Amino acid sequence: MFSDVLRRMVRISLVLNLLLLVGVGLSVPSCATPYESAKLSQGAASRAIATTALAWVDYDRQHQLDIVKNARSRTEGLMKLTEYRLRVQVPVQKMLHTTQDALDALDSALSASDAGKRKDWGTVLANVWRAAADLATVLKRYGVPIPLPSLAPLGSK
């Protein structure tokens, strides 16, 4: 009799523990609010693109100096520098500015107080991802060995 009561208590205790475990799991908010998500995404994109831009200007400098180093004449050097600047430097610089516009638009949307603009978070965030993807494509197309760092929102695994 006493043993039955104890056994029942153990079962009840285990069930309660299980329920608590599930309850804790469900009550822990697994993700941030929409504003926080957009803000964390903005931070991650800013970090990724700033890192890429810094790596890019280093690459740009070194690549141009290599062209000069390998040039056999002043004319050849000038031609190769001009060709590189038109074919690679200008498109990459343009893409970096496109990502800047997209991130600035996201910042404006995040700072906006009116509800209409707040709804645009998803759209402007999508523009940031698109611009970052285009930047990565341009870098790859021209053989620039700079991978775009992760765009996963800050704090996510």
Task: List C-alpha distances in Å: 73 to 4, 65, 69, 70, 79.
Answer: 98, 14, 10, 9, 10
27 binds another protein (CB under 8 A): yes
103 binds another protein (CB under 8 A): yes
Task: List C-alpha distances in Å: 146 to 40, 98, 150.
Answer: 23, 18, 12
Amino acid at 84: Y
Contact stretch for another protein (CB under 8 A) within 94-102, 117-125, 131-139, 140-148: 94-102
Q: What sign does the dihedral 96-130-111-51 (CA atoms) show?
A: negative
154 binds another protein (CB under 8 A): yes
Nearer to another protein, 4 or 114 (CB): 4
Q: Dihedral (C-alpha) 112, 114, 119, 122: value to the nearest 10 degrees? A: 0
CB of 127 to another protein, least distance (A): 16
Q: How far apart are the first and last CA of the chain?
A: 52
Nearer to another protein, 32 or 117 (CB): 32
> What would the two tokens of residue 58 be?
């280093």
134 binds another protein (CB under 8 A): no
151 binds another protein (CB under 8 A): no
What values do phi and psi take at 156, rounded to 5?
-85, 160
17 binds another protein (CB under 8 A): yes
Residues contributing to the site for another protein (CB under 8 A): 2-3, 6-7, 9-10, 13-14, 16-17, 20-21, 24, 27-29, 32, 36, 39-40, 42-44, 46-47, 49-50, 53-54, 57, 60-61, 64-65, 67-69, 71, 73-74, 77-78, 81, 85, 89, 93, 96-97, 100, 103, 107, 154-155
